[in-house]
Amino acid sequence: MDRRFDDQMRVTFPASSGFAAVGRVAAAGLAFRLGFDVAQVESLRLAVEEATTAMSGSGSITLTGSWNDSCLRLELVNPAMKLDKTQIRSLEQTMDALETDTTVGPTGITIQIGDLLEDC
């Protein structure tokens, strides 16, 4: 666990569209529990939905939530999937429209929200 974070939550679910709601509900529930406002939680929920959709297929998705007083970081990873450059660019463009700080890689996506993202 990253030392900059107070605690961590992890959820693993099948990488199929039928289980995408598990990721959305876990992310939104955690964000509400940590006191983020409705607009931030909705942006986060939409970002997680986009991420799980992009990583659906084979394998499983592991969502790890880490947080401190300043921010919440969600990492979604599916080692069985590899996004190509076109998929990464498309997902980055989609995520730019949301109020989150997002990093997209070939097998994982990191989403951050909070007041002091530099502390993430």
Q: What is the pLDDT along the chain (120 residues), one digit of tens a residue?
A: 444 767 899 999 999 988 989 999 999 999 999 999 898 899 899 999 999 999 999 999 999 999 988 889 999 999 998 998 998 988 888 888 776 788 999 889 999 887 655 555
Range of the structural domain that residue 83 is part of: 7-115
Structural domain contains residue 108: yes
The domain that contains 79 carries what CATH number? 3.30.565.10
In angstroms, the CA 19 to CA 71 distance is 26
Structural domain contains residue 2: no
Structural domain contains residue 70: yes
In angstroms, the CA 11 to CA 57 distance is 17
Structural domain contains residue 120: no
Q: Specify the number of domains making up the chain.
A: 1
Structural domain contains residue 17: yes
